[in-house]
């Protein structure tokens, strides 16, 4: 059972010092959510620490307030409440973030991942929200917390990126109504869309070019995949955030029902990103076989390298799932 947003709002109102954090390798929803909540609580007079295990991806640093995010140093903070946003398991916060939050007498856990085991003292987990940012919007707007244009920009970034610009199944009438409300309050969503989607560094275009030149279609054209090698990463001087959305170029191909990217990691592991285009194909199930997880239509895992070995093992399992469909 989830706690109500009212209960969480009361807890936050009563607190003086609050830390807000999200998951490792942050994305639009995690960054947007922690900055929006952190900024609102600061405007409400709280002392706020917005912390992150990893750095803000370059494609999100344009968002106002992201400069306030501190890299977690692992030292326990003297806080009344810690808030974890968009983080399906406690370890996903990262070791240093967990260190920083370790002495908090109260942990609030707000998330939209169905697999979240409710690890907080107060938990609001609701998979009907396409983005944690949409939950944060309701928390702030329905419970009298301050909201300004910068906060709205972060909430929009959270909602827009986690819905694939309102294209994914999780998008609801509520999502569109919230965006309409924020626009009526002055939010320039087109300017944000330009920054989020219409302005990639040339590096990213070169990555897409490599993807299109190197991609493989297998399993009778139902699987599209790409091996993003360390060589390619070095050649284009890849930075965090550069790969965001690249996988959609594989998924869009007609006939493809599973898109997979195998990415060389600096530690020798292979990061798998998988997407399904057929609601009957659950890629999180395949990823779970290798210790990963996620959503039905979008999931991930890490496997031992090299890429060729990871590919063979992952495809074996994925092809079995695909065979079950027919």
Residues of this chain that bind its own copies (CB under 8 A): 164-174, 176-177, 179-181, 183-184, 189-190, 193-194, 197-202, 204-205, 208-209, 212-213, 217, 221, 248-249, 251-255, 277
Residue 246 to residues 21, 58, 226, 252, 319, Cα–Cα distance (Å) = 26, 15, 10, 11, 22
Residue 33 beta carbon to its own copies: minimum distance, rounded to whole angstroms: 20
CA atoms of 63 and 95, how far apart (whole Å) = 26
Which is nearer to its own copies, 79 or 260 (by Cβ)? 260
Residue 204 beta carbon to its own copies: minimum distance, rounded to whole angstroms: 8
Residue 2 to residues 20, 111, 257, Cα–Cα distance (Å) = 19, 10, 34
Concatenated DSSP letters for 27-91? Answer: -HHHHHHHHHHHHHHHHTT-EEEEEESSPPPGGGTTSTTGGGPEEP-SPPP--SEEEEES-SSGG
> Are the beta carbons of 64 and 40 closer than 8 angstroms?
no
Nearby residues of 317 by Cβ (< 8 Å), 6 or more positions away: 286, 289, 290
Which is nearer to its own copies, 58 or 150 (by Cβ)? 58
For residue 93, the 8-state DSSP code is G
Residue 305 beta carbon to its own copies: minimum distance, rounded to whole angstroms: 27
Residue 229 beta carbon to its own copies: minimum distance, rounded to whole angstroms: 18
Nearest residue to 270 (alpha-carbon basis) of 239, 313, 236, 237:
313
Q: Which helix (H) or strand (E) holds 260?
A: strand 258-264
CA atoms of 168 and 171, how far apart (whole Å) = 6
Residue 200 beta carbon to its own copies: minimum distance, rounded to whole angstroms: 5
Residue 155 beta carbon to its own copies: minimum distance, rounded to whole angstroms: 14
Residue 12 beta carbon to its own copies: minimum distance, rounded to whole angstroms: 28
Residue 213 to residues 29, 152, 206, 240, 318, Cα–Cα distance (Å) = 31, 39, 10, 22, 23
Which is nearer to its own copies, 13 or 209 (by Cβ)? 209
Chain mean position to CA 69: 16
Which is nearer to its own copies, 271 or 275 (by Cβ)? 275
Which is nearer to its own copies, 181 or 316 (by Cβ)? 181
> Are the beta carbons of 259 and 222 closer than 8 angstroms?
no
Which is nearer to its own copies, 13 or 177 (by Cβ)? 177
Residue 120 beta carbon to its own copies: minimum distance, rounded to whole angstroms: 30
Which is nearer to its own copies, 79 or 157 (by Cβ)? 157
Number of Cβ atoms within 10 Å of the Cβ of 182: 22
Residue 159 beta carbon to its own copies: minimum distance, rounded to whole angstroms: 11
Which is nearer to its own copies, 119 or 168 (by Cβ)? 168
What are the backbone angles phi and psi of residue 111, rounded to the nearest 5°? -160, 165
Token code pair at residue 89: 């398991």
Which is nearer to its own copies, 22 or 161 (by Cβ)? 161
């Amino acid at each position: 059972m989830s706690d109500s947003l009212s209960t969480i709002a009361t807890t936050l109102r009563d607190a003086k010092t609050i830390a807000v954090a999200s998951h490792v390798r942050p994305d639009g929803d995690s960054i947007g959510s922690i900055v929006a909540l952190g900024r609102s609580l600061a405007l409400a007079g709280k002392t706020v620490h917005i912390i992150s295990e990893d750095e803000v991806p370059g494609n999100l640093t344009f968002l106002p307030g992201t400069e306030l995010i501190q890299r977690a140093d692992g030292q326990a903070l003297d806080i009344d409440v810690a808030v974890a946003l968009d983080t399906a398991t406690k370890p996903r916060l990262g070791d240093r973030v967990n260190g920083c939050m370790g002495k908090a007498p109260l942990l609030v856990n707000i998330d939209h991942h169905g697999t979240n085991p409710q690890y907080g003292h107060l938990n609001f987990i609701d998979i009907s929200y396409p983005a944690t940012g949409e939950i944060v919007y309701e928390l702030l707007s329905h419970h009298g917390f301050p909201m300004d244009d910068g906060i709205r920009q972060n909430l929009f970034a959270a909602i827009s990126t986690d819905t694939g610009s309102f294209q994914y199944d999780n998008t609801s009438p509520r999502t569109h109504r919230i965006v309409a409300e924020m626009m009526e309050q002055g939010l320039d969503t087109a300017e944000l869309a330009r920054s989020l989607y219409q302005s990639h560094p040339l590096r990213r275009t070169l990555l897409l070019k490599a993807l299109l030149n190197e991609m493989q279609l297998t399993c009778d054209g139902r699987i599209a995949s790409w091996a993003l090698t360390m060589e390619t990463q070095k050649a284009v001087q890849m930075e965090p955030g550069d790969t965001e959305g690249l996988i959609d170029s594989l998924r869009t191909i007609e006939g493809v029902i599973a898109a997979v990217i195998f990415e060389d990691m600096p530690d020798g592991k292979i990061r798998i990103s998988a997407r399904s285009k057929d609601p009957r194909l659950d890629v999180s199930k395949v990823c779970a076989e290798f210790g990963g997880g996620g959503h039905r239509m979008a999931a991930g895992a890490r496997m031992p390298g090299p890429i060729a070995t990871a590919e063979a093992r992952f495809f074996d399992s994925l092809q079995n799932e695909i065979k079950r469909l027919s």
